[in-house]
Amino acid sequence: MDWPERIPAGDWLRGASAVVVLSVDVDAESPVLARGERYLNHLTTMSHQAYGPRVGVPRILDLLDRYRLPATFFVPGVTAERWPHVMENVAERGHEIAMHGFTHRHPVHLSEGEQREEIERSLKCFFRFGVAPTGYRAPNWEMTRHTLDLLGEFGLRYDSSLMDDDRPYAMLSAGRPIAELPPHWLLDDWEQYAFLPEPDVGQQIEAPSKVVELWSAELEAMRSFGSLCMLTLHPFLTGRPSRLRGLEEFIRFALSRGDVRFARADEIASAVLGGEDAPGTGPAPQS
Ligand SMILES: [Zn+2]
C-alpha cells in the first residue's frame, strides 16, 4: 500500500502542551440500521440508540455551554434525516458539524462507487440544513486509500480516522492538502460503555471512575509529547448520568492543568494546513 505523501504542518499547539478536541459521534440508530433494516421493528434496540439524540445530545450541549467549550459533532446522514433538530441545535449552539458517512456502513466494506455515493448523499443532506462540512470521520474509523482520495476530490479539509500518530499532520489526498486528526480506541467511550444484546455492538459496562482515570492518565502523558487528545463520545453512551458526570470530571482535570487548550477539529485542521483555510471553507453545494 502507498502511504499518502506527508507535507509540512503548521503550528497547531499554539503554546499549549496538548490540545483536547471533544468529538461527538451522533450515531443514534445508524450503526444498528447499517446491520439490517429489520432492526426498525426492534423497538427496544431502536429506543436504546434513540437515547442519544433525545437525551444525550441536549445534556452534552448543556455541559459544553456551562464550560464554554467548543466541540465537533460527526453526524451520519441517516441521523440528520431522522433527527433534524440535532443538526439545528448543534449549529445554533456554535459547534462544528462534520461528516460521518451517510448510512454508517464502514468504507472498508464498500465498493468505490458506494463510497462515493455515501459522501455525495451526506453532502446533499448537510447542504439542506445549510451546513457546509469541512471534515470527515469514517464510520468505525475504517477507511481505505480510496476514501481518503475522495475527501480530497470533494474538497474536504480534514479526516479523523487514522492512527499512525497522536499529533495531527498534513498530507496530500488526490493532489490536495488535507489534515489528519488521529483518534484512538483508548480515547473512545465505545470500548468502555457499549452494551447491546441484539445486534452485538459491544459487551462493556465499565465504571465511569475507571474511564476518567484512563483518559486523564493519557492526557497527562500527552502533555509531555505535545499530543492531540481526540476524545470520541457517543451521546447514547456518554449521555447517561454517571458517564456525563465522568466527562465533566475529565474536562475539569484538563482545565486544571492550565496549559491544555480545547479546540474544534476544523480549527486544528486549519492550523495544520498553515492557517490559509479558514474554518467553514469546504466543498460547495452541488446542483
Ligand atoms: Zn459512528
What tens digit of pLDDT does each residue of 5-17 get?
999 999 999 999 9
For residue 106, report the distance from its CA to the centre of ligand 1, in Å. Answer: 9
205, 238 contact by CB (below 8 A): no
pLDDT at 174: 85
For residue 100, report the distance from its CA to the centre of ligand 1, in Å. Answer: 7
- pLDDT band for position 283 (50/70/90)? low
For residue 252, report the distance from its CA to the centre of ligand 1, in Å. Answer: 26
**Per this entry, what is the length of the chain?**
287
Secondary structure string (H, E, C) spanning the chain: CCCCCEECCCCCCCCCCEEEEEEEECCCCHHHHCCCHHHHHCHHHHHHHHHHHHHHHHHHHHHHHHHCCCCEEEECHHHHHHCHHHHHHHHHCCCEEEECCCCCCCHHHCCHHHHHHHHHHHHHHHHHCCCCCCEECCHHHCCCHHHHHHHHHCCCCEECCCCCCCCCEEEEECCEEEEECCCCHHHECHHHHCEECCCCCEECCCCHHHHHHHHHHHHHHHHHHCCEEEEEECHHHHCCHHHHHHHHHHHHHHHHHCCEEECCHHHHHHHHCCCCCCCCCCCCCCC
For residue 187, report the distance from its CA to the centre of ligand 1, in Å. Answer: 14
For residue 280, report the distance from its CA to the centre of ligand 1, in Å. Answer: 22
pLDDT at 277: 46
Q: Which fold has domain 16-272?
A: TIM Barrel (3.20.20)
- pLDDT band for position 27 (50/70/90)? very high
User: Residues with beta carbon < 5 A to ion ligand 1?
Assistant: 25, 27, 139
For residue 141, report the distance from its CA to the centre of ligand 1, in Å. Answer: 8
Residues 207-216: tens digit of each pLDDT: 999 999 999 9
Q: Which residue has the higher pLDDT, 2 or 129?
A: 129
Sequence ranges of the domains in the chain? 16-272
Residue in the block written with cell 479546540: 263
pLDDT at 159: 98
CA distance 127 to 90: 15
Residues 179-198: tens digit of each pLDDT: 999 999 999 999 999 999 99
State residue 100 phi and psi, 5-degree precision.
-145, 45
Residues 215-231: tens digit of each pLDDT: 999 999 999 999 999 99
State residue 230 phi and psi, 5-degree precision.
-90, 85
pLDDT at 246: 98
For residue 19, report the distance from its CA to the centre of ligand 1, in Å. Answer: 22
Residue in the block written with cell 437515547: 51
- pLDDT band for position 87 (50/70/90)? very high
For residue 31, report the distance from its CA to the centre of ligand 1, in Å. Answer: 7
Burial 236-266 (b: 16+ CB within 10 A, else e): bbbbbeebbebbebbbebbeeeeebbbbbbb
For residue 74, report the distance from its CA to the centre of ligand 1, in Å. Answer: 8
- Parallel, antiparallel or unpaired: strands 96-99 and 72-75: parallel
For residue 234, report the distance from its CA to the centre of ligand 1, in Å. Answer: 8
For residue 23, report the distance from its CA to the centre of ligand 1, in Å. Answer: 11
User: Is this model's pTM higher than 0.85 or not?
Assistant: yes
Task: Give the mean pLDDT of 50-79.
Answer: 98
Angle at CA of residue 119, ends 114 and 124, nearest 5°: 125
Picking from 170, 118, 184, the residue whose alpha carbon sits closest to that of residue 147 is: 118
- pLDDT band for position 276 (50/70/90)? low
